Amino acid sequence: MAKRLSTTEVEAYGHIRRQLRELGWVVKNPSLNTGGQVWTQNQCLNHPVMKAAFGKKRPENVVKVSESTIWVIEAKAERKQLEQAVSEAIDYYAKPVNDLDLIGSFKAAIASGVAGNQDSGYVARTKVYFDGLWHTVTINGQEATGLLSPKDIQFLLSQHTWDIHEFTPSPYLFLQAAERINEILHEGGINKNDRAKTIAALLLSVVEEPPNLDTELPILIDEINARSKHVLTVNGKPSFAPFVTILPPTNITNHVKFKAALVRTIQELLNLNIRSAMNSSTDVLGQFYEVFLKYGNGAKEIGIVLTPRHITRFAAEAIGITNQDIVLDPACGTGGFLVAAFDRVRVNGTPAQLNVFKRLNLFGIEQDPAVAVLAIVNMIFRGDGKNNILEGNCFSTNLVSKTIDGRASAVYSKLQAKTGAEPVTRVLMNPPFALPTSPDKEYQFVTRALSFMADGGILFSLVPLDCLFGIHEEKTWRETELLAKHTLLAVISLPDELFYPAAMKQVAGIVVRKGFPHPKGQPVFWARIAYDGEVKVKSRRMAGSDFVPPRTARNDIPKVLPLLQNFIAHPETASFNEPMLCKTAPIVHTDPLLELLPEVYLDSPPITQDDLLQDMDRMAREVAAYLIRFGKEAKARDFDEDH
């Protein structure tokens, strides 16, 4: 018999269709539309192969993966019916298709069950068929909680596997989800200043499995808070639990919409397969928060400036982080630079080296506890919450050397390290941009960071351009602190809209070697990264490859990075000069302003005959236009005078 749909199954049907569309499937009837990929219930029975296989039964959807492969999706109205939905997808639909031996038939290689409703949210489970068995699909070792994209399905089938390795959702999907979540939380009456901690709590609550959403709000909140505290406690950070504690509305009439916001937000996270993504090799949580705060909530209102992930990776690669380095970010924010260091060691080291590195070699200081907990959550999802992220002020916090388990490490201390015994070998940082009335300027953070470092250590820091050309205290700092005590290895100006849409200052990255006054003849690597592979689309700035259809975007980073790495390794011998991109040249100490901007040192491209002809043509057109305009105005004046 054809099943009669309940209201909640209709809701599930809409949920499935929306998610498939967002994941990139063409949600049109393949039998009637070229390129269509999704049959609905009634459309299935109009297809001869499915009609023969299904009889009068109908799944929620059938997805056309290829001409020879389909994916069956069955839904149930309650979350507790998930296993039933999966079993029926296989037994009622996938197996009958696979048992057919008809001309023009196909095979059902994927089957999914979706269970739930709008009030309690939805859960999903997907299985893939090969070698005569149905295997539960996992992503980075975690069971997939959402439906899968065309790319994910193709990976499973082509690799003959049930686990999708190194999975990371598209940042564009993050953008869509972040915007929806902000709207959801707004509708739920959650203040924008509480949304970041709310997301952190909800992420912590799904580490092991989603909480029971089919309950009253006070019970749901208690479970979310208990799960968050448990994860933080297990990872040695129980004191941060209050900063992610969710409180119910004081007015009980607001409980319904508040609960709906929590349920829908958890659903969005599950749709992203966020638990799986957190186990990937990329800074998934950092990316999500970057998009969430920049485009959904506004980083300016929250007071957080997130360093784009491609810049944190660039910095970690440039200064050559290794598993032997002791790495510090004295203003770590959500931990993007620490994750970049972690990932570089993961790629270039062994699992044993990585385990020691993340435990003994990574240090972060963040003065805002609500932001520090985001960094801790970030690292927890990378398999370690015990790394040394501290809530505190870097100007009053110290690090001293300590040998732990026979390994050189460091610990926080009330006492400053003795001169010559500083522990840190690498610094990655983006100091908070100072307000005009702020007592702590960006360059003071750089000076403080250098004080943590051993002689010969290398620092990478983003700084506003006015630190490099300002004529007042900035110039004094460049003369008496930066160059008088340390060696400036490189200055790289970065794209004007690096932090778009936040109204931030233009910045450059500086690379400094600690403890050796800058020799007057020492070359510096000057570079200008005008393009970083990101594009603006509909007031969003994201990687060009993240959009459909694919977009290309100019990227200077792949050209600059290897040259910079070579120069840092061999500053006395490496020499480069590519006009308007990079150049090695000593500082002009006779410059009364002592400007340290790459644009001062980079060569302009040579002028060609074509350039001259184009300039002459442009000038001729401008002169002609001026004369025509001038002539018209003169005639008009003459006419007025005559009349």
**Residue-wise DSSP of 302-351:** HT--PPPHHHHHHHHHHTT--TT--EEETT-TTSHHHHHHHHHHHHHS-H
pLDDT at 176: 78
Predicted local confidence at residue 427, as pLDDT: 98
pLDDT, average across residues 427-442: 81
For position 1, what pLDDT does the model report? 42
Averaged pLDDT for residues 591-603: 94
What pLDDT does residue 155 have? 92
| Band of pLDDT at residue 608, cut at 50, 70 and 90 | low
Q: Which of 284-293, 460-469, 542-551 has the lowest mean pLDDT?
A: 542-551
Please check the confidence at residue 547 and state whether its pLDDT lies above 50.
no
Instruction: Return d(Cα 135, Cα 138) in angstroms, integer.
Output: 9
Q: What is the mean pLDDT of residues 167-174?
A: 70
**Domain ranges across the chain:** 7-164, 171-277, 305-532, 608-643
The whole-number pLDDT of residue 539 equals 58
Q: What is the pLDDT of residues 76-117, one digit of tens each?
A: 988 889 999 999 999 999 999 999 876 668 999 999 999 988
What is residue 442's three-state secondary structure? helix
Least confident range of 209-223, 538-552, 582-596: 538-552
Quickly state the pLDDT bin for 496 (edges 50, 70, 90).
confident
More confident residue, 59 or 437: 59
- Give the number of other Cβ atoms within 10 Å of residue 225's Cβ: 19
Q: What whole-number distance in Å separates Cα of residue 291 and Cα of residue 274?
A: 14
Other C-beta atoms closer than 10 Å to the C-beta of 253 total 7
Beta bridge partners of residue 206, listed in sequence order:
none
Q: What value does the mean pLDDT take over residues 219-228?
A: 95
Superfamily of domain 305-532, CATH level 4: Vaccinia Virus protein VP39 (3.40.50.150)
Residue with tokens 């970041």: 196
Q: What is the pLDDT of residue 371?
A: 81
Chain centre to alpha carbon of residue 230 = 26
What is the per-residue pLDDT for 488? 97
Query: With pLDDT > 70 as the criterion, what percentage of the chain qualifies?
Result: 85
Q: How confident is the model at residue 515 (pLDDT cuts 50, 70, 90)?
A: very high
DSSP letter string, 126-158 = EEEEETTEEEE-EETTEE--S---HHHHHHHHH
Work out the pLDDT band at 284, boundaries 50, 70, 90. Answer: low
Q: How many CB atoms lie within 10 A of CB 255?
A: 16
Mean pLDDT (the chain) is: 86
The per-residue pLDDT for 112 is 97
Average pLDDT estimate for 63-83: 93
Question: Would you say residue 542 has pLDDT above 90?
Answer: no
pLDDT band at 160 (very low <50, low <70, confident <90, very high): very high
pLDDT of 2 over the 50 cut: no
Q: What pLDDT, on a 0 to 100 scale, did the predictor assign at position 297? A: 53
Cis peptide before 150 (omega within 30 of 0): no
379 versus 341: the higher-pLDDT residue is 341
> CB 46: neighbour CB atoms within 10 A?
12
Q: Is the pLDDT score of 443 beyond 70?
A: yes
H helix intervals, 27-159: 41-45, 48-54, 82-88, 95-99, 150-159
**Segment 617-643, tens digit of pLDDT:** 777 777 777 677 666 565 656 556 565
Q: Among all chains, which residue has been given the structure tokens 């004295």?
A: 330
Contact partners, residue 523, CB within 8 Å, separation at least 6? 571, 572, 575, 584, 585, 586
Q: For residue 509, what pLDDT is reported?
A: 97
- Which one is predicted more confidently, 595 or 640? 595
pTM (predicted TM-score):
0.76
The model's pLDDT over 226-268, given as tens digits with 9 standing for 90+, comes to 999 999 998 888 988 998 899 999 898 999 999 999 999 998 8
Strands 453-464 and 424-429: parallel
What is the rounded CA–CA span in Å between residue 237 and residue 273? Answer: 25
Percent of the chain clearing pLDDT 90 (strictly above): 52
